[in-house]
Chains A and B, each alone.
Chain A
Amino acid sequence: MSKIEVKICMGTTCFVMGASHLQELVEILPAKYPDTVDVMGVPCLDLCSNESKYTNAPYVKINDEIISDATTEKVLKHIERLLEDGQE
């Protein structure tokens, strides 16, 4: 199974709306899932540019899925689900 790819949007909007605190994932994830998850902060994913889309920032992309209103807990839960599904 290929690694799960977690991209935290570090664009201005996401950062101000809460991604600043998602940066902890960069430390949490490699410690928790050293072999199964890759995590990185990436430049603006351009998900907020449509009208009022900043409402749902910050965004995190896990593989090809987009998590809106992302929180550390939400991202962790999603990864757990993916890992469980992968094992079945």
Chain B
Amino acid sequence: MDKNNQAQHLKREILVRTIEAFLSDNYPENTRLIAYDMRPQGCEVPYRCCIHKERDVIQHRIIANLGLSMEEIDERKLLSDYAKKALERTEPEKDVLTVLETACQACVPSRMFVTDLCQGCVARPCVESCKFGAISIQNGRSVIDGSKCKNCTKCMQVCPYHAIVKIVVPCEDACPVGAITKDEGGHATIDFDKCITCGKCVAACPFGAIHEKSQIIDILKKMQEGKKVIAMIAPSIAGQLPCSIYQLHTALLKSGFSEVVEVAQGADITATNEAKEFKERMEKGDKFMTTSCCAGYNNLIEQHLPEIKPFVSSTKTPLYYTAELVKKDNPEAITVFLSPCVAKRRECLDNPNIDYLLSYEEMGALFIAKKIEVSTLDPTPFKVEASREGRNFGLLGGVAKSVEVADAGQTEIKPHIINGLNKQSIRELRGYAKKGECEMGNLVEVMCCEGGCIGGNCCVNSVKTASKAITEFTKDCKPLKEPPTK
């Protein structure tokens, strides 16, 4: 599904309105009124069965924007009370996602289905191809016995009439680790012991029923209290808006941050350490090493793939090093990571040096609410300017490339890129761990999102244009290390 769809548009509009309400003179009441302003009496009902359901779904989205769990909501309370409640908490809630049950369609369970296109042919390849004996012919038509069918899709592939389809549940289908199941009512529920917070379900649901629990209210509150709030911007941010990274720097200062630091600075440390570690491991006789900067991958390792641990770099993430530096210099400050993805939410919760996370989508909404026109702003340079390689970390292959540059030709490096975690690539990784080697290369860069960080599910720009913008920007930046003189 194209990322730029109406569910996404609606989500962003509600985000802007939530921020506007917070910045207004009556935050709780104006928050309550958002749904009525968006769907006033007598207006057209664009998506749901009636205006009341439209408003209800909008209100539940606001609850997620307030950073609260739908699972703990008492429907009898007013939304204005929840707006106030969001101000009371001192730290963000755990479990970064929440399912909006009202928005969830409770899709029919995933299964194989014979449509009316079935001609009851003589060849009957479906019956022949089914290894589980689940297909029989009744009244001249194929019928699938659900108790025997394993959803292998073999019958679907062999039917000459394309008469057999697989009914999919988009969120379940997108989840690479089987963390989404249905409750008794057929609604999606997330098993957080399995969930690696990759956010693929958020992007996949056509009803927009899975939502991140935003921390935007917490961040705005800190700004309002006059705290020093420091933005740590991920490298992938450079291609997100129609402006230079230096104009974006100005925009963030205008929107309430006291200081802006590039996480690409930490990426330089990651690249240097990882190159050193890679060299040591290869000299020791290891066959391969995987990168360790992707939060979704790190969650996968912990929860589902512990056998690959001996091959994973022990180098910390760029965000880790950056946050460490920032907190050391500013122990009293509030640190906010500006993130392309959902997965980093867990990393931020687990790292005491990082207080909050603001996604690119939320940042965009903040600029809209504050009427900041990025392209008209003057540029502001950074105190520390990161290297070309650090700034390229968000591109697919950027991490492996930076390790190569940092290694400066000392070790033979053959990179292999895992472009997106899904059931197949996870199987592939499991295979490497089992064999202790990867025939495709010795430096395995693992990216949870297709396209690398610029393909993250909170990104605003398309992968293609973002990649072009970053490459254009970084080509004249200083290299991490001068190439070796031959």
Residues on A lying within 8 angstroms of B by beta carbon are 10-13, 15-18, 20-21, 23-24, 41, 43-44, 48-49, 52, 54-55, 69
* Segment among B292-300, B306-314, B369-377 that sits at the interface with chain A: B369-377
Contact of B9 among A18, A44, A48 (CB under 8 A): A18
What secondary structure prevails in chain B residues at the interface with A?
helix
What are the interface flags for B366-404 relative to A under an 8 Å C-beta threshold, 1 for contact and 0 otherwise? 011001111110000000000000000000000000000
Residues of chain B in range 434-486 having any CB-CB distance to chain A below 8 Å: 460-462, 464-465
Q: Is B145 an interface residue, CB under 8 A from the partner?
A: no
Contact of A24 among B3, B371, B462 (CB under 8 A): B462
24 A–B contacts from the bound complex (CB under 8 Å): A11-B375, A12-B241, A12-B242, A12-B368, A12-B374, A15-B241, A15-B364, A15-B460, A16-B12, A16-B368, A17-B9, A17-B12, A17-B368, A18-B4, A20-B460, A20-B461, A21-B3, A21-B4, A24-B464, A41-B242, A44-B375, A44-B376, A48-B368, A52-B37
Contact of B364 among A16, A21, A48 (CB under 8 A): A16
Q: Is B2 an interface residue, CB under 8 A from the partner?
A: yes
Q: Is B365 an interface residue, CB under 8 A from the partner?
A: yes
Q: From residue A38, how far is it (CB to closest CB) to chain B in Å? A: 19
In the assembly, what is the distance between CA of A23 and CA of B464, in Å? 10
Contact check, B372 vs A54: say whether CB atoms are below 8 A apart.
Answer: no
Q: Is B128 an interface residue, CB under 8 A from the partner?
A: no
Residues on B lying within 8 angstroms of A by beta carbon are 2-4, 8-9, 12-13, 16, 37-38, 241-242, 361, 364-365, 367-368, 371-376, 460-462, 464-465
Q: From residue B437, how far is it (CB to closest CB) to chain A in Å? A: 41
Contact A13 B368, CB 8 Å, known A18-B4, A21-B4, A52-B37 = yes
B13 (CB) vs chain A CBs: closest residue: A55
Instruction: Give the residues in chain B near A20, CB-CB below 8 Å.
Output: 4, 460-462, 465
Contact of A16 among B3, B38, B365, B376 (CB under 8 A): B365
In the assembly, what is the distance between CA of A20 and CA of B361, in Å? 12
Interface centre among B2, B8, B368, B374 (most CB of A within 10 A): B368
Q: From residue A44, how far is it (CB to closest CB) to chain B in Å? A: 6
In the assembly, what is the distance between CA of A12 and CA of B3, in Å? 18
B8 (CB) vs chain A CBs: closest residue: A18
Contact check, A54 vs B375: say whether CB atoms are below 8 A apart.
Answer: no
Contact check, A11 vs B12: say whether CB atoms are below 8 A apart.
Answer: no
In the assembly, what is the distance between CA of A23 and CA of B462, in Å? 9
Contact check, B460 vs A16: say whether CB atoms are below 8 A apart.
Answer: yes
Instruction: Give the residues in chain B near A54, CB-CB below 8 Å.
Output: 13, 16, 368
Instruction: Give the residues in chain B near A48, CB-CB below 8 Å.
Output: 368
In the assembly, what is the distance between CA of A51 and CA of B2, in Å? 29
Q: From residue A39, how far is it (CB to closest CB) to chain B in Å? A: 15
Instruction: Give the residues in chain A near B373, CB-CB below 8 Å.
Output: 11-12, 44
Contact check, B13 vs A17: say whether CB atoms are below 8 A apart.
Answer: yes
Contact A23 B375, CB 8 Å, known A12-B241, A17-B9, A41-B242 = no
B372 (CB) vs chain A CBs: closest residue: A12
In the assembly, what is the distance between CA of A10 and CA of B243, in Å? 10
Q: From residue B362, how far is it (CB to closest CB) to chain A in Å? A: 10
| Supplied contacts A11-B375, A12-B368, A16-B12, 4 more A-B pairs, CB within 8 Å | A16-B367, A20-B4, A21-B4, A69-B9
Instruction: Give the residues in chain B near A13, CB-CB below 8 Å.
Output: 368
In the assembly, what is the distance between CA of A12 and CA of B241, in Å? 7
Contact check, A49 vs B371: say whether CB atoms are below 8 A apart.
Answer: yes
In the assembly, what is the distance between CA of A48 and CA of B368, in Å? 9
In the assembly, what is the distance between CA of A30 and CA of B429, in Å? 43
B37 (CB) vs chain A CBs: closest residue: A52
B371 (CB) vs chain A CBs: closest residue: A49
Contact check, B368 vs A43: say whether CB atoms are below 8 A apart.
Answer: no
A43 (CB) vs chain B CBs: closest residue: B375
